Structure 1
Amino acid sequence: MAEKAAKKIDVTNKKASFEFFFLEKYSAGMVLTGTEIKSIRLNKFSMVDAYCFFINDELYVKNLNISKYDQGTHYNHEPLRDRKLLLKKKELKKLVNKLTDKGLTIIPTRLFINDGGLAKLDIALAKGKKLYDKRDSIKERDVSRERMRED
């Protein structure tokens, strides 16, 4: 029963695609506690304001809100704690070098549970959109909707 529910978890950060251009994408594992993965499997998380940052050449995600597990006891986790992301050293060095460019950031785009039952976070090296870029995105989306309605 738990395996079937675990495979259904696949949530994207729609706000991120509206606010940023994605330059490169990576898939990273996360260091989680027991109650955190249980909350994720119950789809009780939000990554609206989440972003990634480096501490001592290690990548962390901040503001990834994983709600407290209802049946958790005093072992329950903090909902907004910083969580370590697991990437290869080569990928981490590449991201550190790219972050020196002005206006680039790392944001989570998708949280899912893979076939092995592990929680994964897709992250993207992103550049912020200007207001006119956002208007273009809205215009393109409206045009594609009109085309779909005509067909």
Structure 2
Amino acid sequence: MRRTTLQRTTVTAAAAATLLLAGCGAEHDGTGPGRDGDGSPSASGPRSAPEPVPGCADHAELTTADSGQTLCLRAGGQVRLTLDGTEDRPWTPVKSTGTALRSTNAGIVILPGDAVAAFDAVTPGTARLTSTRPLCPTGPGRTGCKGTQQWTVTVKVARP
């Protein structure tokens, strides 16, 4: 049976995506605390703490609908995801490439076929999260197919 209710994570993911996209168009002119108009350090010297990277979040919640997206996460942040599957079309455990993310405790999976995962952003870099599931239902007495649905999200981790 397929779930059709709107989940809180979907709303959270949509809000996070909106905030992320709002920061993507921002330009930095090199001015600001510790900088002159030409981008060089001012007489008062550079700031002691680096500025956060515009458009990067501290936390992100992803769902099946986020496949193909790229997001920016600050080091020290966390990304959590829930892929809604079914018992006869289950998602594989989510894998991460690279060293920018480290798997952490995601909690428990409530329904068979779902994939739930969480990753801490540990160092600047890029990671790719992936999972797959069969296109056709599997099980006894069913005609299967070899097709798979792939879910992938690219996570760019920036300095805090």
Instruction: Name the TM tier (shorter chain).
Output: under 0.3
| TM-score normalised per structure 1 | 0.23
TM-score, length of structure 2 as denominator length: 0.23
Larger proportion of helix: 1
Name the structure, 1 or 2, with higher relative contact order (CA <8 Å, separation 6+).
1
Say which one has the larger Rg: 2
